[in-house]
Structure 1
Amino acid sequence: MTTRTRPGGLLTLPGGTTVSRLGVGCWPIGGPAHNLGMPMGWSTADDHQALAGLDRALDLGANLFDTADVYGHGHSEHLLGTALRGIPRGDFAVTSKVGYYTEPGTHHAMDPAHLRRRLEGTLLRLGVDHLDVYAFHNSDFGPGDVHLEGAVAALRGFQAEGLIRAVGMRGRHRFAPERRTLAPGEREDKHARFRRHFAAIRPDVLAVRDNLLTPPSATDGIREFARTHDVTVIVNKALGQGLLTGKHTPTAPPLFADGDHRRRKAWFTPPALAVLAPHLDEIRNRLGEGPQVLAHAALAHCLRRWPGAAVLTGFTTAEQIGQNLTCDPNRLSADDLLFLTDVGQRAQQALDQLGEVFTDEAAR
């Protein structure tokens, strides 16, 4: 591993690769897509900007990249593989995920044969012989978890073969179609399901969604739980999918084309943006103006809140990469961190008053 300055500091993943604590989330560059009858991609992506952004990230010392087979149905993995071509394998780490995309005719997304085919496709698109982390992308293992045991055995088998170095899973969350098809009272308790699946999977890596707008109840106890079980944490959605950067405003709400998952999310509508705006202004008033101030505040908050964890930042342009990866978490004082936590909680509570749909989105 080449020794150099890494954005956010250093972290050693299970398997031994040393990576930047600020990593690059590659969902947005997959572009627009549909899956499970829903828009699941990003309509604002551009391949030229994606490749330029990945090159910029490498120039800045980032060497942790997160993707999934469902992101643009493999397009994100293909772009990432293109950017990494020619770089020594030990100088970067790639994490990918499986379980949201089911090939036609496949019995279930967690069927062992399907998992192997998806892994082989992922490795081919990325141009690598192994993944540093391969994670279950959701908690749907079929009725009564009928596919859980076989799926776990499949991933541990891949690990024994040297195709993956670590097995990952997501923290407490809901399978996306569950929100759409089941009323809150019909949904299984996600905390109980997480504990059951964790006991069966015994993951090496845990993916946790957290940002300034996440209700404290969504992450309560996770840091202590991960520490107790010696599990590495990777935090995603630290920028609230762009909401915390201030680029979306109530007077100029975003326009998302077909295939963009944000079209189905109330957080991006003018009423929610109007609620959020004054709280973002509070942050600017304290920490200063400039296009990077809000992003740096949100990322630094996550880096300091999750010591010893990696934090992912998504992007669609090289400019965003340049802004995000130059964040210095140590520039914030302890009082700044307390201030950001307070502002974020007040913003989340204000959004909560708009209805349950907003509350449900905060932990996504």
Structure 2
Amino acid sequence: MNDYGRPGGTLTLPGGTTCSRLGIGCWPIGGPAHNLGMPMGWSTADDDRSLAGLERAFALGANLFDTADVYGHGHSEQLLGTFLRGIPRSEFAVTSKVGYFTEPDADHAMEPAHLRRRLEGTLERLGVDYLDVYSLHNSNFGPGDIHLENAVATLRSFQAEGLIRAVGMRGPHRFAPERRTTDPGRREDKHARFLRQFAVIRPDILAVRDNILTPPSATDGIREFSTAHSVTVIVNKALGQGLLTGKHTAAAPPWYGDGDHRRRKAWFTEPALAVLGPYLDEIRHRLGGGPQTLPHAALAYCLRRWPGAAVLTGFTTLAQVEQNLTCDPAHLTTDELVFLAGVGRRAQQALDNFGEVFTDEAVR
């Protein structure tokens, strides 16, 4: 474990497990995948590197691991389970999600029987007899939320059976196909939908997307809302899926293989990276030019903005694990926090000026 204990400090989940505030997001290790007619995975993953990264993360003190049944269609859960089988169950927290994968014999991903089959598969792949958190992965509960109440009742029954310790849901967001197929002018307001569904779900955990490039309107009031309702927050996308690490540049734009979700996101293209680059340089100039400057700033920004929350960081290499988990949020001053918010706001506005194609919410 590093010299300041659990990375980012600690928090206690609703089920009672104490874990590191910097947790490991296991979407990338699922590898390439397609779902709902779109690329939904990561083409840069390698199983041997993933297992080595998980081992190193745990050695550095990270003991919160977040995955989902759709990540690599179960491959992420399977790999994570291979690693976790050598660790006493009381020494880690594991979360998973359901709702983005529908089996052929189910009409909808949120049907009770389907939810039970998916949970059973998740537990088997992970090699555990309970999850610390099981979350509804999206807000699609059918027309008029027809499946919402039964889905909630089913997850609460899992909780009563001891199969899960806490129920989670996502903050305001859009179901992935909705962004591609729905006229923006006719979409239901995602904040209104969130509030309506929150009142039914009454979750123990809230997953929130946030990073330096997130528009203020996307998270306005969510911190206060979660506090008022005594809901623990898990923040994801803290590194902008790699955009905020500085590893992608317009001079050397990334290339992603088949099944990689970044192939459909304009912010990973050369024109967008050319816009983003100068803003990242501003951060380097203010905070230092070392290789850890940008990822440490991005992670500390979220840890400081969300006190008492967990912040997830993904990886595909051992070096990324070591880089990310040595972040100390105490090193970021209040002035630097305000500076990062200002730079990020200007960067996001500059990217949005390129048009609707540059506002993919999944990147944020």
TM-score normalised by L of structure 1: 0.98
Q: How does 1:162-241 map to 2 (within 5 A)?
A: 162-241=162-241
- In 2, distance between residues paired with 1:264 and 1:356? 13
Separation (CA, whole Å) in 2 of partners of 1:222 and 1:363 = 19
Q: Give the counterpart letter for 2:67 in structure 1.
A: T
Distance 1:74 1:362, change over 3 A: closer
Give the root-mean-square deviation of aligned CA atoms.
1.0
Cα drift, residue 33 of structure 1: 0.1
Q: Within 1, Cα distance between the matches of 2:86 and 2:260?
A: 32
Matches of 1:5 and 1:348 in 2, distance apart? 34
Partner of 1:37: 37
Q: In the alignment, is residue 332 of structure 1 matched against residue 332 of structure 2?
A: yes
8 Å contact kept, 1:25–1:313: yes
**Cα distance change on mapping 1:345 and 1:266 into 2, 3 Å:** same
Q: After TM superposition, which residue ranges in structure 1, 4 or more long, deviate above 6 angstroms? A: none
Aligned partner of residue 250 in structure 1, secondary structure: coil
Q: Counterparts of 1:225 and 1:30 in 2: how far apart (Å)?
A: 32
| Residue in structure 2 matched with residue 305 of structure 1 by the alignment | 305
Asked if structure 2 preserves the Cα contact closer than 8 Å seen for 1:214 and 1:363, the reply is no
2:112 equivalent to 1:76:
no
Number of residue pairs aligned between Structure 1 and Structure 2: 361
2:8 maps to 8
Partner residue, 2:150: 150
Alpha-carbon separation, structure 2, partners of 1:145 and 1:122: 25
CA distance in 2 between partners of 1:214 and 1:356 (Å): 15
Structure 2 counterparts to residues 313-324 of structure 1, below 5 A? 313-324=313-324
Where structure 1 has 5 or more consecutive residues not aligned to the other structure, the ranges are: none
Residue of structure 1 equivalent to 2:52: 52
Q: Which amino acid aligns with 1:301?
A: Y
Deviation of 1:363 after TM superposition, in Å, equals 6.6
Is residue 38–residue 261 contact of structure 2 (8 Å, CA) maintained in 1? yes
Residue identity (%): 80
CA displacement, residues 132-160 of structure 1 (integer Å, 9 cap, x when unaligned): 00000000001111111110010000000
Q: Could you list the per-position Cα deviations for residues 167-202 of structure 1 after superposition, in whole angstroms to 9, with x for gaps in the alignment?
A: 000000000000111110121111111011000000
Q: Give SS of 1:291's match.
A: coil
* 1:105 shift after superposition: 2.1
| Distance (whole Å) between structure 2 residues aligned to residue 363 and residue 53 of structure 1 | 23
CA contact (8 A) 2:39 2:259 kept: yes
* Structure 1 position 296, deviation (Å): 0.1
Q: Structure 2: which amino acid aligns with 1:355? A: G
- 1:256 maps to 2:256: yes
8 Å contact kept, 1:141–1:147:
yes
Query: Residue 361 of structure 2 aligns to a residue in which SS?
Result: helix
> CA 1:265/1:235 → structure 2, altered by over 3 Å: closer, same or farther?
same
Question: Where in structure 2 are there 5+ consecutive unaligned residues?
Answer: none
Supply the distance in 2 between the matched residues of 1:162 and 1:339 (Cα, whole angstroms).
Answer: 45
What is the letter of the counterpart of residue 298 of structure 1?
A
2:17 corresponds to which residue? 17
Per the normalisation by structure 2, the TM-score is: 0.98
Q: What is the CA deviation profile of residues 209-249 of structure 1, one whole-angstrom value per residue up to 9, with x for unaligned ones?
A: 00000000000000000000000000000000000000000
Give the counterpart letter for 1:327 in structure 2: C
Instruction: Tell me if the contact between 2:45 and 2:316 (Cα under 8 Å) persists in the aligned partners.
Output: yes
Please say if residues 53 and 318 of structure 1, whose CA atoms lie closer than 8 Å, have aligned partners that are also in contact: yes
Shift of 1:292: 1.2
For the 8 Å contact 2:266–2:360, the answer to whether it is kept is: no
Aligned to 1:110: 110
Aligned to 1:121: 121
